[in-house]
């Protein structure tokens, strides 16, 4: 009996576009440099806007989105929770300090 060779459903053709991923990576790098220079609030805002922005792009463009990881619902929930969670964590740390 021959076994069929299974292929992974994840491929570059069905995932996101590299240019969009490089933009997000660049924003994360910029946020890291700003945080190292003492601009924690600015770095936090850059990260939050990047997460919420990419989730909004995924929600609006759906299957035409340049950023895809899983389903539209998963990508949007992850992006929004990460973006707002980063801001809430920053505010919680400020409140405790």
Q: Where do the domains of the chain lie?
A: 64-97
* DSSP per position, the chain: -PPPPP--S--TTTS--HHHHHHHHHHHHHHHHHHHTT-HHHHHHHHHHHHHHHHHHHHHHGGG-S--SS-HHHHHHHHHHHHHHHHHHHHHHHHH-
pLDDT tens across 16-58, in order?
678 889 999 999 999 999 999 999 999 999 999 999 999 999 9
Q: Does residue 3 register a pLDDT over 90? A: no
Q: pTM, whole model, 2 decimals?
A: 0.79
| pLDDT, tens digit, 9 for 90 and up, residues 57-82 | 999 998 888 888 889 999 999 999 99
């Amino acid at each position: 009996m021959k076994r069929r060779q299974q292929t992974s459903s994840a491929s570059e053709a069905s995932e996101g576009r590299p240019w969009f991923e490089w933009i997000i990576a660049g924003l994360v790098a910029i946020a890291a440099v700003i945080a190292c220079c003492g601009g924690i609030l600015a770095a936090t805002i850059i990260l939050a806007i990047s997460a919420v922005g990419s989730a909004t792009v995924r929600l609006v463009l759906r299957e035409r989105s340049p950023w895809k990881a899983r389903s539209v619902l998963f990508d949007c929930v992850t992006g929004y929770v990460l973006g707002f969670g980063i801001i809430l964590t920053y505010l919680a740390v400020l409140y405790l300090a």
